[in-house]
Chains A and B, each alone.
Chain A
Amino acid sequence: MKASAFSYARATSVGNALELLVAHGDKAKVLSGGQSLMPAMNLRLICPELIVDIGEISELRGIAVSGGVLTIGALTRHVDLANSSEIAAHAPLLTEAIAHVAHPAIRNRGTLGGSLAHADPASELPACMVALNATVVVRGQTGERRIAAGDFFKGIYETDLSAHELLVAVELPVVKKNAVHFFHEFARRHGDYAIAGLAAQAIVEGEAFGDLRLVFFAVGDRPVLAKAAARLVKTTITPELLTQASPALAQELDPQDDQQASSNMRRHLAKVLLARCVGALLGRPDLAAGGTA
């Protein structure tokens, strides 16, 4: 289908974009890379009256490291994340995850800020932001707000961002020396939305986890930071302990049924991901052995 008629404004600066957003409120939509917005408009799931194109605001693009913080501009494209040596060095989880985000032609256009503001619960980058303890920086006419990624995602396509604000950047703490990560998703076709996925960031101390952030996606209305991970921290992990953590994890999740998978199948896949992740991060194939899909 084709998008319904709308007006178009090419924002010249963040201030200009905010003026347009304040004037038009929720009748306006921000166009960044357009790789989620345009499909939604072509399918007439949304019919905004005004498109505010922020694509030319170059100050929103770029990756910088300073004082232990990695700052990524909202307009930074997926392909730039994939090719960035700073991201590979300081947030390697993101480098690994980005290869699973859609297909090359889409990664050439899609942006980090666009993906986060869109907040599809099956998409990879929101989960990575929660796993990496990111801070989402949003700007309004009265100033900036900094929101922990864990508080930013509110539901399916819902975030803490108001219609008068623009997501301008994310800030990630540079990963520690003994940090390890894991990323995996199940999808019908490489690059499709996940049926179930896991982005994990951990600290390994000796043979145990000092910290373990397991963020599941496509198994709830937003990225789910698993509380069950607490059972696996600062302790020797046995297959029995992992077996106990598994139903606890399944209880936390609220997956949907759809044409791709039943909620039970998604719960099962999440448990498989848990076992594979713990086994991989600790270099313990005996633990991952429980994780056959």
Chain B
Amino acid sequence: MTAAIPISLEVNGERVEADVLPRLNLADFLREQLHLTGTHVGCEHGVCGACTVRLNGVIVRSCLMLAVQTHGASVETIEGLSDSGEVADLQAAFRDRNALQCGYCTPGMLMAAQDLLKQQVEPDRERIREHLSGNYCRCTGYQAIVDAVEITARARMGRVL
């Protein structure tokens, strides 16, 4: 049973068939087998949030999931959200507000921020901080990230109204 196990899943809207060893986590599967390197690997024990992806529509830590567990699931990575334009305004706000420096945390930050904005149209700063509390950034001090998310929320409200 330590042999590779076949899995079939959807990644960013495309069907993927693969054989994976049980020990392979989802982050490494995305990066090494599918070459989707936007998903970053930081702490590998669920603390830093750099590996955040969407699984069946909700955000999860891809370092804390085995690739075999995603059989039959739909996975969306930062490449998917970026290419579809879903987070284009959020990305622009991050750029405008200097909400990144080294950029290592940014894919996970964008995944978590977009998750919040889907749930709540106008979160206050405290709520933004709470939702991003599982994502470490060592460069910005978070103020600029909270600014970027807040500005995006307001801009989207304007567009809706």
Interface membership of B117, Cβ < 8 A: no
Q: Chain A interface: which of B11-19, B64-72, B97-105, B147-155? A: B64-72
Q: Mark B124-136, 1 if CB is under 8 A from A, else 0.
A: 0000011101110
Contact residues in A for B21 (Cβ distance below 8 Å)? 5
Interface residues on B, range: 20 to 34
| A7 and B22 contacting across the interface, CB-CB below 8 Å | yes
| A39 and B64 contacting across the interface, CB-CB below 8 Å | yes
What is the bound-complex CA distance between A78 and B55, given in angstroms? Answer: 16
What is the bound-complex CA distance between A140 and B94, given in angstroms? Answer: 53
Q: Mark A20-54, 1 if CB is under 8 A from B, else 0.
A: 00000000000100110011001100000011010
| B60 and A108 contacting across the interface, CB-CB below 8 Å | yes
| B23 and A6 contacting across the interface, CB-CB below 8 Å | yes
Given A34-B65, A108-B60: A2 and B44 within 8 A (CB)? yes
Interface membership of A98, Cβ < 8 A: no
Contact residues in A for B23 (Cβ distance below 8 Å)? 2-6
Contact residues in B for A190 (Cβ distance below 8 Å)? 129-130, 133
Per DSSP, chain B at the interface is mixed
Q: Which of B1, B28, B60 contacts A7 (CB 8 A)?
A: B1
B interface, CB within 8 angstroms of A: 1-2, 5, 21-23, 25, 28, 44-46, 49, 52, 55, 58-61, 63-66, 68-69, 112, 115-116, 129-131, 133-135
A interface, CB within 8 angstroms of B: 1-10, 31, 34-35, 38-39, 42-43, 50-51, 53, 55, 79, 102-106, 108-109, 189-191
Q: A2-B23, A103-B134 are in contact. List 7 more A-B contacts (CB 8 A).
A: A35-B64, A42-B64, A51-B66, A102-B46, A104-B112, A108-B55, A109-B65
